[in-house]
Amino acid sequence: MVQKRLFIFTLLLMLIAAEMPAQKLVNPQEDYTWTLIQSGQSLGNPIDYRRNDHSVVYYGSVGSIYLSRDRGQSFTPIGTTIPNSTRVKNIILSEKDTLTFLVAIEASTDKIVKTTNSGNSWTVVADNLTFSYFGIPMTRDPAHPDTIYTQSNSTFMKSTDFGSTWTNVNTSMPLATPCDIEVFPDSTHIILIGDNTTGIFRSTNSGVTWSQVFTTSGEIPTIAVAKNKPGEAWATKWSGGGGLLKSTDYGATWTLVGFSGRNLWGVDVSPESADYVMTGEYSGGRIYLTKDGGLTWMTTTISSSNYSVVIADTFSIFAAQGAGFFKMNLPYPIPVELASFSGTSENGMINLSWITATETNNLGFDVEWSTDNSSFKRLGFVGGKGTTTSQSSYSYNFREPLAGKNWFRLKQMDHDGSFEYSNVIEVDFEVVKNFTLNQNYPNPFNPSTEISFSTPADGFASVEIYSASGELVAKIFDGNVKAGIQRINFDAAGLATGTYIYRVNYINNEGGKFSLSSKMLLLK
């Protein structure tokens, strides 16, 4: 009898353990609170923000678009209401034009509309659509800013001109009620879709063919892809047992990592830290936050039903609830928060740029470079802003990269000697192929300006300045040059106001002779 009771007791413990969430929940944190900033009613994810300026945030409700220029602290309506719109499903801002964005709406027939004048007028660019009732129907390709995907019923569609025109990629999708579409930033041919009552579907050829990779009887409302941890993604479950899913292999397989029995809805990952993840409970009045990749979760309380959570950076955290737009109030000054870090190859050098959302005790940044993504060496130092809650922009130009792949990271240092490394970025450097002459900068100028030109090979160059009548007034450079970009400073303190011509003569190492010239204006 004792053994039988022990067996039953052990079995009960096992059943209870099986029902408990796998994650460790921390008690509600009173320091982390949410404030309703803008009342509204929307579905999907009606929030977007400028990727290069996190102080600019957009929110959509019914048929109105609201704009914040202070990180979601306050909003004002912009433009005109979207005709016939009953709900804003999601917004996608152009990364090339601050006046242009797309909005997916519910109406008598669902639509995608586009504005090129900040909402003062609207053009229907896709009509007679049917979006899933709760869905987030559009997504962007992170590597190609003008490429947008959407789905209506069983037709998967693509635009390569930021929504102006659309083509059908697949007209017989194995799912008909999509809830969210996501594209992996480092492998944009891999696309995921969460569906209502079916599961998660995956394409590895940009949407041409699809396979089901996870099955559920409930809904997959939202999927979030990590920006700086290749292959990692999170997905929420509503009904069908609830819970939070995670994939580490580009969505090929999924594991239930916690929150079993809890109907979750929104989920997002910080753009700079894949360990910083947030998810919302649909009707539980709770939003959960982890800073350690899901090992422990902090519980925060919020009113109304959750539809989406958005982490622009850890200083700018938002939620779209049934009652409107909420912003998280942080309980303490956060350290230096790197909002973005990128690099481009241009004019014979690599231009690095980064943005901090906020800074605390920031001495500055060492810029480090590697040719093998393993051993890094210091290139230079860029001073920080100390302590500030304002967004700050930085840049660094590397003039002597090697052809091919180059890797960079930032070593952010505090005044107390502590430091932290950023994520590593890769920049592919292409050598100068042609002899080119750039416009001087600044222009007009007083009294000095920089003249730059590119040489595809080692050789000899001279830079001459002529008056508008053709008289030679100065020779400011005459010597050997290396392959790459050349920069020559010109001081015109002794010249009168007027138009001048600068001429660059170049002889390559094979004896070829070239000459280019351009005009510049001196204003005193």
**462 exposure class (CB count in 10 Å sphere: 0-12, 13-18, 19+):** middle
Whether 436 has a pLDDT exceeding 90, the answer reads: no
Whether 345 has a pLDDT exceeding 70, the answer reads: yes
For residues 295 and 287, what is the distance between their CA atoms, to the nearest angstrom? Answer: 16
Residues 223, 100, 443: CA angle, nearest 5 degrees: 125
Q: What letter represents residue 202's amino acid? A: R
Whether 21 has a pLDDT exceeding 50, the answer reads: no
For residues 412 and 86, what is the distance between their CA atoms, to the nearest angstrom? Answer: 47
Residues 268, 231, 234: CA angle, nearest 5 degrees: 30
pTM score, whole prediction: 0.65
**pLDDT (0 to 100) of residue 2:** 36
**pLDDT (0 to 100) of residue 17:** 37
**pLDDT (0 to 100) of residue 387:** 80
> Which two structure tokens, joined as six digits, stand for 470?
């053709």
For tokens 């430091």, name the residue: 419
For residues 203 and 191, what is the distance between their CA atoms, to the nearest angstrom? Answer: 5
Q: What letter represents residue 243's amino acid? A: G
Region of poorest pLDDT, from 6-10, 183-187, 208-212, 389-393: 6-10
Q: How confident is the model at residue 206 (pLDDT cuts 50, 70, 90)?
A: very high
**477 exposure class (CB count in 10 Å sphere: 0-12, 13-18, 19+):** middle
What does the pLDDT look like over 369-386, one tens digit per residue? Answer: 988 888 898 988 999 888
Q: How confident is the model at residue 330 (pLDDT cuts 50, 70, 90)?
A: confident
Region of poorest pLDDT, from 286-290, 413-417, 486-490: 413-417
Percent of the chain residues topping a pLDDT of 90: 64
> Which two structure tokens, joined as six digits, stand for 40?
């509204």
What does the pLDDT look like over 242-267, one tens digit per residue? Answer: 999 999 999 999 999 999 999 999 99
**pLDDT (0 to 100) of residue 267:** 98
Whether 180 has a pLDDT exceeding 80, the answer reads: yes
Asked if residues 236 and 245 have their Cβ atoms less than 8 Å apart, the reply is: yes
Between 455 and 245, the more confident residue is 245
**pLDDT (0 to 100) of residue 55:** 84
Asked if residues 453 and 437 have their Cβ atoms less than 8 Å apart, the reply is: yes
